[in-house]
């Protein structure tokens, strides 16, 4: 980022419809901003997006928030804008492995709390989480970073002990098995260099 | 974020459709164990197996946990033991076999293959010793598996060896009479035997292979069956090429899982990864059957007209998916037809829709031969020899592997039920038609020349 420029992080929540990103990007472009990061998803008909934007240092967070809010009909969008903090962008601890958590079964209260509490206690960082419903059944899929020092068998056992009584079938597997079954790239680069880890 | 539907598809393959790695097989060359005496040789055989394979089970278990994927069997395959038997007698052969058996037990593997001789063109004294020692070896050990190659497309067929082996099979059955001839389930007769096959009982480490190597056998008939069922349920009018395409895509995924495991186990052990054998190997469990795949395609009765075409379709589609998935495909790599180990095949034999003759026809288009089939205990040696020759001829003429694993059940008659339990399953004893009709032909002995197809240079 060049001198005289400033970075903000921007979050927008709005009922999903065609043209939302167009409206947001038009608003920030009008302030002279460059969008340099974006992640969006739709859950239960609500569109949510997080962007990072870089613009002139003299621009305030409130100015950005107002510009984006004004891009929508009154009351349609919830907008949050904050100064970007570099420490928030720290990368995952290098001694971690990516695992995928899955749980399926009849939906009931307390499932997510039980899982996330356990993961947090073990220092396992949630990178992404998705929940879907099929009638009475729910499926949780989470991508997580697991410190390499953890005993995976113990983690698997702990999760089963917590969730099996709730009627959930649980999986906790290294991401490579999902990569090899659904990507066409070579397998060898996923393995080489692991040694006796 | 990956597509959650992709993630759950993989989870379903593991949790509901019996996807597993059927075997991680470590190949170990034992030629360096040759010593001045049989006793010293046996000692060194045990030491080398313990040295090379001591961590195999632990590492496999680590990988199994990491990926949430069962590795059903951890096994060993050694270089042909006949090489160690030159100048030795049957007692020393048994001593070496016991050393293999004990070392295999110590490192925690359930089977060790490679009590093997290759006699397609002729037989050395050591190879004869190995064959003659088989009744004692297969009745006196629990984990040792044996195999003999009697023919190849390059060499033709050694009929004298076939005759010796046929009579030996009867002696193995008799030596294991208390277990209904179970010793024969640990002995395979091959044509065009692959040097890197990880599946038992025919696994061995051939010439040209590394000193120590990891070969992997994947499986997943349940996964393929469910894929076909889903396709047919969603599109009842789907054509056979639609089914072939679905199998191909499924085989791709199954193959890649096997390569992931094989490469990681090899990396952790610091040895070379060899091949991935993408054979569809059934177990007696419902939902883990190759026969059920044919039924899912629309064959109501296995053995009905069209069955051989169904085997051919499946075999070809699996190979195409596997070949794209990995450059390390080897071994047998095709659909297996082990009657006792596949409840749907066993049921078809029981009901009489699947005969030995139809099974033989099916083996012309898949990777093995007459496999795990119980036959009457009074079957003449000439009939066994003729059946071995027929299968070998199919392999030799078509430049492919064929194998015979027949189990004469002492005291057993056609139609009797026999069960070995566990992965070895159960079946009805199959009748052998006209068992003495080929005796004069078989007894001529000698050698059937290599086919013109073998002259490829």
Summarised one tens digit per residue, pLDDT across range B168-212 is 999 999 999 999 999 999 999 999 999 999 999 999 999 999 999
- A104 vs A115: CA distance, rounded Å: 13
Which domain-ending residue is among A65, A88, A111? A88
Q: How confident is the model at residue A43 (pLDDT cuts 50, 70, 90)?
A: confident
Per-residue confidence (pLDDT) for residue A185, from 0 to 100? 85
- Same domain, yes or no: A155 and A117: yes
Smallest CA–CA separation between A66 and chain B, in Å? Answer: 31
Higher pLDDT: A189 or B56? It is: B56
- Same domain, yes or no: A124 and A174: yes
Per-residue confidence (pLDDT) for residue A173, from 0 to 100? 96
Give the mean model confidence (pLDDT) for residues B242-266.
94
Per-residue confidence (pLDDT) for residue B206, from 0 to 100? 94
Helix (H, G, I), strand (E, B) or coil at B104: helix
In tens, the pLDDT along A123-136 reads 999 998 998 888 99
Please indicate, yes or no, if residue A132 is contained in any of the structural domains: yes
- B402 vs B382: CA distance, rounded Å: 19
- B178 vs A110: CA distance, rounded Å: 57
Best mutation target, B5, B6, B9, B10, to test chain A (most A CBs within 10 A):
B10
In tens, the pLDDT along B384-397 reads 999 999 999 999 99
Total count of domains within chain A: 2
CB-CB neighbors (< 8 A) of B69 in chain A: 173, 177
Please indicate, yes or no, if residue A197 is contained in any of the structural domains: no
Give the mean model confidence (pLDDT) for residues B38-48.
97
Give Cα separations from B385 to A114, B356, B361, B437 (angstroms): 65, 15, 18, 12
B327: closest chain A residue by CA: A186
In tens, the pLDDT along B127-179 reads 999 999 999 999 999 999 999 999 999 999 999 999 999 999 999 999 999 99
Give the architecture (CATH level 2) of B17-457.
Alpha-Beta Barrel (3.20)
- Same domain, yes or no: A42 and A111: no
In tens, the pLDDT along A12-26 reads 999 999 999 999 999
What percent of chain B is predicted at pLDDT more than 90? Answer: 84
Give the mean model confidence (pLDDT) for residues B328-339.
86
Structural domain boundaries enclosing A160: 96-191
**In the predicted structure, residue B413 carries a pLDDT above the cut 70:** yes
Which domain-ending residue is among A88, A110, A134? A88
In tens, the pLDDT along B340-382 reads 889 999 999 999 999 999 999 999 998 788 999 999 999 999 9
Per-residue confidence (pLDDT) for residue B456, from 0 to 100? 87
Which domain-ending residue is among A88, A120, A136? A88
- Check B267 against A178: CB less than 8 A apart: no
pTM: 0.89
What residues are paired with B113 via a beta bridge? Answer: B77
- Same domain, yes or no: A128 and A60: no
Core vs surface per residue B313-325: b (16+ CB within 10 A) or e? bbbbbbbbbbbbb
Per-residue confidence (pLDDT) for residue B58, from 0 to 100? 97
- Check A180 against B257: CB less than 8 A apart: yes
**In the predicted structure, residue A197 carries a pLDDT above the cut 50:** no
Q: Is B157 left (phi over 0), alpha (psi -120 to 50) or beta?
A: beta
Give the mean model confidence (pLDDT) for residues B218-237.
91
CB-CB neighbors (< 8 A) of B14 in chain A: 171, 173
Higher pLDDT: A5 or A123? It is: A123
CB-CB neighbors (< 8 A) of A156 in chain B: 65, 68
**In the predicted structure, residue B248 carries a pLDDT above the cut 50:** yes
Please indicate, yes or no, if residue A100 is contained in any of the structural domains: yes
Q: How confident is the model at residue A196 (pLDDT cuts 50, 70, 90)?
A: very low
Higher pLDDT: B281 or B430? It is: B430
Who's near B357: CB < 8 A, 6+ residues apart?
B433
- Same domain, yes or no: A110 and A63: no
Best mutation target, B3, B4, B12, B263, to test chain A (most A CBs within 10 A):
B4
- Same domain, yes or no: A119 and A157: yes
- Same domain, yes or no: A176 and A102: yes
Which CATH number goes with the domain that contains A103? 3.30.70.260
- Same domain, yes or no: A107 and A81: no
Using a CB–CB cut-off of 8 Å, the residues of A that contact B are 100, 102, 104, 128, 130, 132, 139, 141, 143, 152-153, 156, 169, 171-178, 180-182, 187-188, 190-192, 194-197
Smallest CA–CA separation between A182 and chain B, in Å? Answer: 7
Per-residue confidence (pLDDT) for residue A110, from 0 to 100? 85
Please indicate, yes or no, if residue A196 is contained in any of the structural domains: no
Smallest CA–CA separation between A71 and chain B, in Å? Answer: 29
Give the mean model confidence (pLDDT) for residues B435-449.
96
Per-residue confidence (pLDDT) for residue A93, from 0 to 100? 61
Give Cα separations from A94 to A64, B172, B370 (angstroms): 35, 58, 53
**In the predicted structure, residue B305 carries a pLDDT above the cut 60:** yes
CB-CB neighbors (< 8 A) of B1 in chain A: 128, 130, 143
In tens, the pLDDT along A142-194 reads 999 999 999 999 999 999 999 999 899 999 999 999 999 988 888 888 886 55
Per-residue confidence (pLDDT) for residue B367, from 0 to 100? 75
Best mutation target, A138, A163, A177, to test chain B (most B CBs within 10 A):
A177
Per-residue confidence (pLDDT) for residue A91, from 0 to 100? 55
- Same domain, yes or no: A11 and A63: yes
* C-alpha angle B333-B336-B340 in degrees, rounded to nearest 5: 155
Considering only the beta carbons, identify the residue of A130, A141, A188 that sits closest to B263.
A188
Considering only the beta carbons, identify the residue of A153, A196, A197 that sits closest to B65.
A153
């Amino acid at each position: 980022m060049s001198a005289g420029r400033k970075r903000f992080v921007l979050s927008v929540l709005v009922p999903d419809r065609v043209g939302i990103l167009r409206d947001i990007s038009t608003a920030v472009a009008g302030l002279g901003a460059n969008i340099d990061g974006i992640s969006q998803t739709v859950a239960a008909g609500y569109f949510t997006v997080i962007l990072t934007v870089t613009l002139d240092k003299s621009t305030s967070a409130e100015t950005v928030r107002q510009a984006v809010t004004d891009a929508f009909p009154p009351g349609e969008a919830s907008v949050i804008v904050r100064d970007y903090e570099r420490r928030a962008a720290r990368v995952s601890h290098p001694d971690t492995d990516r695992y995928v958590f899955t749980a399926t079964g009849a939906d009931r209260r307390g499932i997510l709390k039980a899982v996330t509490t356990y993961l947090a206690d073990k220092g396992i960082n949630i990178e992404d989480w998705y929940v879907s419903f099929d009638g009475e059944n729910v499926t949780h899929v989470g991508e997580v970073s697991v410190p390499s020092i953890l005993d995976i068998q113990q983690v698997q056992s702990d999760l089963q002990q917590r969730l099996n009584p709730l009627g959930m079938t649980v999986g906790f597997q290294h991401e490579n098995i999902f990569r090899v079954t659904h990507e066409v790239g070579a397998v060898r680069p996923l393995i080489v260099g692991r040694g006796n880890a | 974020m990956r597509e959650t539907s992709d993630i759950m598809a993989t989870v379903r393959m593991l949790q509901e459709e019996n996807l597993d790695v059927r075997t991680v097989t470590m190949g170990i060359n034992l030629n360096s164990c040759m010593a001045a005496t049989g006793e010293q040789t046996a000692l060194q055989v045990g030491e080398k197996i313990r040295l090379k394979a001591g961590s195999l089970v632990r590492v496999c278990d680590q990988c199994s946990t990491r990926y949430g994927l069962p590795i059903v069997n951890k096994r060993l395959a050694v270089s042909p033991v006949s090489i160690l038997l030159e100048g030795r007698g049957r007692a020393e052969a048994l001593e070496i076999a016991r050393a293999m058996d004990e070392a295999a037990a110590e490192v925690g593997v359930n089977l060790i293959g490679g009590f093997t001789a290759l006699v397609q063109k002729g037989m050395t004294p050591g190879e004869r010793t190995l064959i003659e020692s088989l009744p004692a070896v297969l009745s006196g050990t629990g984990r040792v598996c044996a195999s003999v190659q009697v023919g190849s497309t390059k060499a033709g067929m050694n009929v004298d060896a076939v005759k010796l082996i046929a009579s030996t099979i009867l002696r193995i059955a008799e030596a294991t009479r208390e277990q209904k001839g179970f010793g024969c389930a640990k002995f395979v007769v091959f044509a065009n035997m692959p040097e890197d096959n990880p599946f038992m009982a025919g696994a061995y480490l051939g010439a040209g292979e590394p000193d120590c190597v990891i070969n992997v056998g994947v499986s997943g008939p349940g996964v393929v069956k469910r894929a076909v069922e889903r396709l047919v349920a969603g599109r009842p009018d789907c054509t056979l090429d639609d089914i072939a395409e679905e199998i191909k895509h499924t085989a791709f995924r199954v193959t890649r899982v096997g390569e992931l495991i094989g490469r990681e186990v090899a990396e952790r052990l610091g040895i070379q990864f060899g091949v991935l054998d993408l054979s569809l190997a059934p177990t007696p469990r419902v939902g883990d059957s190759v026969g059920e795949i044919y039924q899912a395609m629309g064959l109501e009765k296995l053995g009905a007209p069209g069955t051989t075409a169904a085997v051919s379709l499946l075999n070809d589609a699996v190979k195409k998916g596997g070949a794209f998935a990995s450059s390390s495909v080897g071994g047998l790599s095709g659909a297996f037809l082990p009657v006792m180990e596949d409840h749907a095949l066993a049921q078809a034999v029981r009901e009489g829709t699947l005969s030995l003759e139809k099974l033989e026809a099916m083996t012309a288009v898949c990777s093995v031969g007459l496999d795990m089939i119980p036959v009457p205990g009074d079957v003449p040696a000439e009939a066994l020899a003729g059946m071995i020759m027929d299968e070998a001829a199919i392999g030799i003429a078509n430049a492919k592997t064929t194998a015979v694993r027949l189990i004469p059940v002492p005291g057993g008659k056609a139609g009797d039920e026999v069960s070995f339990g566990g992965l070895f399953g159960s079946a009805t004893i199959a009748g052998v038609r006209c068992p003495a009709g080929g005796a004069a032909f078989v007894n001529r002995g000698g050698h059937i020349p290599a086919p013109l197809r073998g002259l490829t240079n």
